[in-house]
Structure 1
């Protein structure tokens, strides 16, 4: 690069200009203030961008021009093709209407573009994204966020989520959206605050944060956070912030309500269960989008209802799995769900023990005096019976805990009914269940019997059925996750399964582990193809398991239908590579407790789901649920003991009414509030353009194969797939990829739907991105790259691809983009232009001339002469290069305006200006082969 002598005034610097500072050349990306420049090294990547304060630089900031290739930078045809692909694949500031496309580490499906296009319609982005579990709400929200960052609409953001999801969000943002966010939790906040200047905050110092709702909701933090909160907020599991009367939920809603007061704040609310049957909670959720949505239509008049529906449709998107498969033609986006029941029959001591524990519990309930004591006795009975039904080990723990003293309703209710308030790790411990002093002797007898059964766990009919089911799943090629309700059950299962399945690696994850330890244990299983995971519900949210497992076994029945859905959703979700996923629900065919749950909860949930397509939560009236469960247990036809009479009133009928109310609410949600959002025909063309921008499968595979061969680490074939040995790569490349978690030998595929345990490698996969960035840098700054990763920028060869002497110029075009009312942004595009004696070609047609294999080499002394002569002709080509750049600017303007018109209507235009002269990255002379 060449630096001009004059000193550049800061006011003269424009986006896209080249400047020299600190002994190297830079591209100006932005001007954050009148005194600062954000710049990227001319030969570097986005990660190398820095802020310059020109007035404070020791050496003056000067204008610079891009250096042309020289005859001393010669290389082969393979290097020319590599450089052309590397330049295109390494650019992260795409010029197309979807600015975020080049940053995405996941290839989105067409339906996942809908929320982003809806957001583009709104000046203030406030959306409720309520797609089914596993459809990809995180991806949809992340795409909106990445697009807003790349358009310069926001500079900072925060994600608010339950504590167990914090690390998941940090990982997803880094892996899929190239965003490094800081986790803010109770355990980490103090360390983050150290060293912050007085008067500043974590959120002032760290622009990208993922914050635990339970940390930030506190009264002492809420107001200060609201004042420092970024202009962009994503709220995950938003339903857990609006329903219920518990103080914690009220604090969460107070926080969100305070944030929503800023009418200019962007807010994305994510939940798979927007309507839990509580109309007030639903209204509070909608009020965060817009005050007019909180109370429903102004009147029952059809016009008022339609106006309300249209308003809601601007802010609310909800799709079910069938919608995706049928309307969007995405049947292959999800595996085929294979659901089955696995009943078992209790026998002998195991059956007698469950009967005797129930007799004991009913005796306690009989002695209870007063309504509160009776209710607590019923809850204690159900909680204890739930532990007994789980496993002998859980029974031992629960009975021992019962000796420890009273348990309050507040402690029993969330454990009993699988309450979902983002505290799953705290609820997998067997509860104490409120004994009195008269029970001690009877309890000790039951504990002894439970200990005996735990010692004979191998004889347990429930365990035997599990072993049978796991064997069948393994024979089908599936890898199972076994979900239990309690820690002791999970630990006992882990030990039993290790003894049964010697060839499998069996891991156990429970609430005893920290979130980081859970993640580490799960990720470590990737190295063991034959694997089984046993987990409590601490994993039913927070860690996606679709890349490692393809089956879920519900060892313990869920009492909350949405929790059952969440368990399945860890495996049956977007990104699952298996063609089939299995869900096995185990229950005791003659179990008193399982029979009651199936009658009161499971059968009704299944009927509603079949008829409406919606999984509804358990009714919130826990008293009627517990009474109905107790009534069902006492009336179980399998009970041979004496019937103890309790007056439950019309508990079963009352609960039936509540289930019907939930069903009716689900139906209304599908009709009154249903909206089509955007139709497939409006989205699919833009999605296809995005795919083309990201790079087609054949182009990515071609580049990766050639690049690995260049650094002498070729891929090995494995059937239809490839194997990459990361440890054999040159040290510099190996270390970069190790930092991204890529080590050892891995099987990869470039196809859209690879087999399980085969990694899909696309344009932004770390392997491709690192190779592309390294190769591009190796051409522009050879001193910064080791070995054969360096590429020359010039060459000449004989070919039958042309009939006359042809010069191909590899170009980097720079553009300034400016949308009405928005900042000026830099965009880049890699292309080529080919010149013959009388005509020229550009774009894909010019790049294609580099592909046909050379028919022969030129003499060594002729190649530099041909390059010198081509360089001497460059002045003649400048007018055509400039015209091509301006034509591309006009085409890009049309692309931007078309998308903006589709999302917001007319009147919003995008200015696209070519920055000239274009950068000539490479120059290649094609000599026609004589016939």
Structure 2
């Protein structure tokens, strides 16, 4: 044992020197005082983040997860309300309290750099992006893509680590329990776990069962019990209460922030006679796969280019569709594209146009060019650098961004406030994700949404299905901002009500 303290004590005693420095004592006192947590329910993280000014709903969400949900929760705020900030606050708080030392964040590959920047710049949390040569045991906060994590040998390397908290962004990608990524996440040890998604239900009620089963197995019972109890709307309120025990959801109306309005409308489109003839031929085509017929119908509602691509593949497979393919390629008018141009010219501003098909994307860029309208493309084939470049071109030079579904996630475009849903998806939450690219914090203008739908086609069925799925979402999760029309309160007959609107618009009433 060192005797240094004893020698110092005797020296002070014999020489009558000062026992200690009052300045050093006060400094030590202040440091100790700062480290104390007088109220365990109060967040300490904001005190250490002077450059971050979290909003009230973000702080409240973090407090709720830590104090009431024991660090296992779905963060389900509407798109654009700052779920990443809430997750960052929770992670920082647990790091400060010593309850978390190591964290694993799983996100789509396109969002990894965004997570690195957020954690480093806003929360002063050094985070590392996973690469093959990264020694993961040396990094306390690791960020990697879900697609990489689920595969060997990465899967086994992750399983060999002890992470205190798992954070999963865009967690609605785990909706299918039969996928490799769901199986991977289920096998992770989860002391604390955050699932981030604005759309915890996308198609049916079972998706929320499987998400919550990742967080708290048994919270909603087993599969059979859940099916027996909640397959009808009879116990919807009970299910909503159970879900709210593990989910934090803030809506724009709940934040106290003055939001710009959403002005949403369905824009009916009439096929030309030639287009209608081809559509009817596709609808009566003798094929054994109903899904293939639906695909052709949807593609015909988008562009002849998308339709021709599928027909060509069928022809190569030996299906006799050469005459039909020739008829498709002979079409010289696209009524929906004409309507899109009409909207773009009336907007006289920047517009995002969403299509489901890359063939339609290329056609639309060519067609807009013939009308003197500048545009850039955005799709899932672009790497991050090209995505960033396209975003910059759109902001600085082009009037229109033509995006496939890849543009519905991970890109913030508040400088734009016009969105054309050129092709309607079957999933209403994809519409919400698309709109959320522009209707989010920082948007200074009312947002205009145009949902194009061709009359008397499969797109009317899609509208009906979208309304049904929205009803399911609202019964279990809560109200949803307008994504199809601004007509709320149509109840279970939303499509019937909407169809009359559809008809009145067509008749000019």
Residue of structure 1 in register with 2:55 after alignment = 109
Q: Deviations over 1:707-756 (max 9, x none)?
A: xxxxxxxxxxxxxxxxxxxxxxxxxxxxxxxxxxxxxxxxxxxxxxxxxx
Q: Name the SS for the 2:447 alignment partner.
A: strand
Instruction: Determine whether 1:527 maps to 2:396.
Output: yes
Match of 2:271 in 1: 346
**Does structure 2 conserve the Cα–Cα contact (< 8 Å) formed by 1:125 and 1:267?**
yes
- Give the 3 Å change call, closer, same or farther, for CA 354–404 of structure 1 in structure 2: farther
Q: Taking structure 1 as reference, are residues 280 and 360 closer, same or farther at Cα in structure 2, changes over 3 Å only?
A: closer
| 1:179-578 matched pairs, under 5 angstroms | 179-184=125-130, 189-190=131-132, 192-193=133-134, 202-218=135-151, 220-245=153-178, 249=179, 251-260=180-189, 265-276=191-202, 280-295=206-221, 315-322=246-253, 324=254, 328-330=255-257, 332=258, 334-347=259-272, 351-360=273-282, 362-365=284-287, 374=288, 376=289, 378-405=290-317, 436-437=318-319, 439=320, 442-443=321-322, 445-453=323-331, 456=332, 459-474=333-348, 478-501=349-372, 505-528=374-397, 531-546=399-414, 548-576=415-443, 578=444
Q: Answer yes or no: is the 8 Å Cα contact 1:243–1:278 preserved in 2.
A: no
CA distance, structure 2, for counterparts of residue 610 and residue 205 of structure 1: 44
Q: Report the CA distance shift for 1:352/1:498 in structure 2 as closer, same or farther (over 3 A).
A: closer
Partner of 1:119: 65
| Cα displacement (A) at 1:313 | 5.3
**1:342–1:252 Cα change, 3 Å:** same
Aligned counterpart in structure 1 of residue 453 of structure 2, from 577, 584, 587: 587
Match of residue 169, structure 1, among 115, 132, 157: 115
- SS in structure 2 at match of 1:342: strand
The RMSD of aligned alpha carbons is 4.0
Change (3 A) 1:487 1:175: farther
Distance 1:178-1:532 versus aligned 2 partners, 3 A rule: farther
Change (3 A) 1:231 1:344: same
Q: CA deviation at 1:208?
A: 2.3
Partners of 2:249 and 2:337 in 1: how far apart?
A: 39
> Quick one: distance in 1 between partners of 2:294 and 2:408?
22
- Secondary structure of 2:284's partner? helix
Moved more, 223-232 or 275-284: 275-284
Deviation of 1:142 (Å): 1.7
Q: Retained in 2: the 8 A contact 1:340–1:584?
A: yes
Tell whether the 8 Å contact from 2:204 to 2:469 is kept in structure 1 after alignment.
no
Q: Judging changes above 3 Å, is the alpha-carbon distance between structure 1 residues 340 and 176 closer, same or farther for their aligned structure 2 residues?
A: farther
| Alpha-carbon distance, 1:337 to partner | 0.6
SS of 2:336 mapped into structure 1: helix
User: Given the superposition, is the C-alpha separation of residues 307 and 387 from structure 1 closer, same or farther in structure 2, using an over 3 Å criterion?
Assistant: closer
Name stretches of at least 5 consecutive residues in structure 2 with no aligned partner. 9-20, 25-33, 230-235, 484-490, 493-509
> For residues 170 and 355 of structure 1, do their structure 2 counterparts lie closer, same or farther at Cα, with a shift above 3 Å needed?
farther
Do the aligned partners of 1:130 and 1:317 also contact (CA within 8 Å) in 2?
A: yes
Q: 1:397 to 1:106 in 2, by over 3 A?
A: farther
Residues 751-804 of structure 1 show CA distances to partners (whole Å, capped at 9, x for unaligned) of xxxxxxxxxxxxxxxxxxxxxxxxxxxxxxxxxxxxxxxxxxxxxxxxxxxxxx
Contact kept, 8 Å, 1:157 with 1:208, in 2: the verdict is yes
> CA 1:512/1:402 → structure 2, altered by over 3 Å: closer, same or farther?
farther
Alignment of 1:66-145 (within 5 A): 98-103=44-49, 107-121=53-67, 124-145=70-91
In structure 2, relative to structure 1, the CA distance for the partners of 1:535 and 1:387 (3 Å cut) is same
C-alpha separation in 2, matches of 1:554 and 1:525: 18
Deviation at 1:554, TM superposition (A): 0.5
Question: In the superposition, relative to structure 1, how do residues 309 and 592 fare at CA in structure 2: closer, same or farther (>3 Å)?
Answer: closer
The whole-number CA distance in structure 1 between the counterparts of 2:281 and 2:237 is: 57
Q: Hey, what's the Cα distance between the residues in 2 that align with 1:94 and 1:545?
A: 42
Between the aligned partners of 1:397 and 1:306, the Cα distance in structure 2 is 47
Pairwise CA distance, 1:567: 0.9
- CA deviation after TM superposition for structure 1 residue 535, in Å: 0.8
Change over 3 Å in CA distance of 1:257–1:395 after alignment to 2: closer
Counterpart-to-counterpart distance in 1, 2:69 and 2:381: 45
Structure in which a larger fraction of residues adopt strand: 1
Whether the aligned pair in 2 keeps the contact of 1:104 and 1:178 (CA below 8 Å) is no
TM score, norm. by length of structure 2: 0.75
Equivalent position SS for 1:513: coil
User: Partners in 2 of 1:380 and 1:139 — Cα distance?
Assistant: 43
Please state whether the residue corresponding to 1:259 is helix, strand or coil. Answer: coil
Q: Which residue of 2 aligns with 1:671?
A: none
Counterpart residue number, 2:462 = 597
Say whether the 8 Å CA contact 2:116–2:127 is kept in structure 1.
yes
Answer yes or no: is the 8 Å Cα contact 1:203–1:230 preserved in 2.
no
2:200 match: secondary structure:
coil
Contact 1:345/1:588, CA 8 A, preserved across alignment: yes
- Contact 1:506/1:533 (<8 A) preserved: yes
On the 8 A contact 2:355/2:361 being kept in 1, the answer is yes
Is there any run of 5+ residues in structure 1 with no aligned partner, and where?
1-7, 13-62, 67-91, 194-201, 366-373, 406-435, 618-658, 661-931
